[in-house]
């Protein structure tokens, strides 16, 4: 589905981070996922295979593995987050095409992530696009409540002062777009082969679809 709105009408662009700023097909998020499995395996004293089962179960029931472990195991979120986001990105190159596209996009740009500010800084700096984003809103600022919980969105809007009626939210997890649409935002889902990211992708709250972020931004340039 092609973007069918003029960019001049948008005051704020809200981007998810993982599997959004970079395409899911790069498998970069797998580096974080591996660290999550390691953390779960160590905490429960189980093999990695069993840890992945626990990890998936907690993710589906609580929205994030961390939230599940906080609720059921009383883990300290900072310890968890510091561990799972300690990934090496030294092999990543600056993305000059993405940088140019973001430069051409009018309006303010923000990151709204279930990750952390340091993780976002790490990724955005590796791709050479950190300077485009006015604010990075993370899971810590949402009191560790993840998207798509309404509380996370309320905290995001309170911190940023964004008018949702003049905003676009771009995500790889379709279900995370439901509260955004209900608030009046226009929504963009970036297609994914991951089953849980596809849930809700055919719902009315998904207004536009694209293969990846650069494909979406390219369609805006063509439409404009």
**Sequence spans of domains, the chain:** 7-24+91-223, 29-84
Is the whole model's pTM more than 0.85, yes or no?
A: yes
CATH of region 29-84, choose from 1.10.150.450, 1.20.81.30, 3.20.20.140, 1.10.10.60: 1.10.150.450
* Beta strands 167-171 and 186-190, pairing class: parallel
Neighbours of 10 (CB within 10 A): 18
- For the segment 128-157, the average pLDDT, to the nearest whole number, is 97
Q: Are 170 and 20 in contact (CB under 8 A)?
A: yes
How confident is the model over 39-91, as pLDDT tens digits? 999 999 999 999 999 999 999 899 899 999 999 999 999 999 999 999 999 99
φ, ψ of residue 194 to 5 degrees: the values are -80, 125
Asked whether this chain's domains 7-24+91-223 and 29-84 adopt the same fold, the reply is no
Closest CA to 171 of 221, 205, 143: 205
Mean pLDDT (whole number) for 169-186: 97
Residue 183 has pLDDT above 90, yes or no: yes
Overall average pLDDT of the 107-129 stretch: 97
Confidence of residue 1 (pLDDT cuts 50, 70, 90): very low
Q: Count CB atoms within 10 A of the CB of residue 47.
A: 9
Instruction: Give the CATH architecture of domain 7-24+91-223.
Output: 3-Layer(aba) Sandwich (3.40)
CA-to-CA separations, 52 to 2, 59, 202, in angstroms, rounded: 37, 10, 28
């Amino acid at each position: 589905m092609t973007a069918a709105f003029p960019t001049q009408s948008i005051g704020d662009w809200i981007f998810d981070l993982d599997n959004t700023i970079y395409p899911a097909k790069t498998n970069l998020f797998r580096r974080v996922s591996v660290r999550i499995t390691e953390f779960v395996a160590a905490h429960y004293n189980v093999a990695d295979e069993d840890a992945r089962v626990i990890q998936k179960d907690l993710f589906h029931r609580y929205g994030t593995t961390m939230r599940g472990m906080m609720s059921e195991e009383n883990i300290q979120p900072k310890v968890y987050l510091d561990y799972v986001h300690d990934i090496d990105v030294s092999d990543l190159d600056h993305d000059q095409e993405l940088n140019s596209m973001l430069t051409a996009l009018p309006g303010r740009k923000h990151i709204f992530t279930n990750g952390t500010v340091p993780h976002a800084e790490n990724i955005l700096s590796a791709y050479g696009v950190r300077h485009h984003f006015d604010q990075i809103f993370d899971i810590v600022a949402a009191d560790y409540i993840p998207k798509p919980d309404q509380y996370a969105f309320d905290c995001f809007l309170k911190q940023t002062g964004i008018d949702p009626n003049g905003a676009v939210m771009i995500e790889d997890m379709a279900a995370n777009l439901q509260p955004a649409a209900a608030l009046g935002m226009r929504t963009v889902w970036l297609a994914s082969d991951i089953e849980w990211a596809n849930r809700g992708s055919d719902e009315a709250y998904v207004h536009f679809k694209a293969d990846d972020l650069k494909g979406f931004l390219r369609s805006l340039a063509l439409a404009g």
